[in-house]
Amino acid sequence: MSADAARMAHRVLIFLLFITMGTPASAGAWLREKGSSFTAISLTVFKEEDDIYKYKSSLYAEWGLRPKLTIGLDAEEHQELYGHALVFARVPVADFGQAGRLAAEFGVGAHHRQYSAWAMYKATLSYGKGIQTGLGAGWINVDTALEYRTHEALIRKLDFTTGLSSGRRLDPLLQIETSYVSDHPWYWSVRPSLMYRPKTGKLSWIVGAERNSTRDDIGFKFALWRSY
């Protein structure tokens, strides 16, 4: 990545972090209302040398089964023939009013490398709250998780997501993911994006970039979110 591109990425990151500062607003609900659902599909493409492209795709869905129980699916697949699929259940833990709320999530599924597959289990504690900025209302999420893949070591994860829900057609979104396995370097991924909301319907378009600790190039991300 060139020096100019690095400076630009740094400025974008600082801007997206800055806009999350402000006075608190009412915390958003962690769980889906009974009978409501949300789906998200995404594709991230990385260009390598000799015009070779590699990609990863993901599918995320959740549904409000009961007022205090949300169930869902989290799946990801990489072109290099590895990925995972996880079903989960989320329950509320505590509601602190304007100070935010906690939820717990428990998942079970499988992951694979080429044609070999193993079981995986995941436990997550999430904190979320609404925020109010000079550019409008928004939210922040912080997720801490333990993920056990039966043929590998325990993975510790810490993720951060923030964005605006101002009601405008365009709003920023920032996602930071980190993970750690004993005796291995920290993994990190930073994804700044823009959300576009058409005037009609419940569909949102997300376009952004990804930079992570395992690659020197920057990936292009496209996603669709839909609420029902």
Q: What is the pLDDT of residues 120-177, one digit of tens each?
A: 999 999 999 988 888 888 889 999 999 998 888 799 999 999 998 877 889 999 999 9
| Alpha carbons 133 and 192: distance in angstroms, whole number | 18
Report how many domains make up the chain: 1
User: Is 157 within 8 Å of 126 (Cβ atoms)?
Assistant: no
Please compute the mean of the pLDDT values over residues 42-52 and round it to a whole number.
84
pLDDT digits (tens, 9 = 90+) for 92-108: 999 998 889 999 999 99
The pLDDT of residue 1 is above 80: no
**CATH number of the CATH domain containing 104:** 2.40.160.40
Question: What integer best gives the mean pLDDT of the chain?
Answer: 83
pLDDT value, residue 48: 77
pLDDT value at residue 166: 77
Q: What is the dihedral of CA 161, 166, 167, 171, to 10 degrees?
A: -50
Q: Is 25 helix (H, G, I), strand (E, B) or coil?
A: coil
pLDDT of residue 47: 83
Give me the sign of the Cα torsion angle 77, 83, 85, 90: negative
* Residue 157 near residue 186, CB atoms below 8 Å: no
Domain membership of residue 64 as a residue range: 3-227
Tell me what percent of the chain is helix, strand and coil, each rounded to the nearest 5.
10, 65, 25
C-alpha 72/C-alpha 141 separation (Å) is 18
Residue 37 has pLDDT above 60, yes or no: yes
**Reported pTM:** 0.80
Which tokens belong to 212? 């992570």
Task: Tell me the three state secondary structure of residue 53.
Answer: strand
Q: Percent of the chain having pLDDT more than 90? A: 55
Does the pLDDT at position 179 exceed 90?
A: yes
Gap between the Cα atoms of 143 and 139, Å rounded: 13
Residue given tokens 């015009």 in the structure block: 51
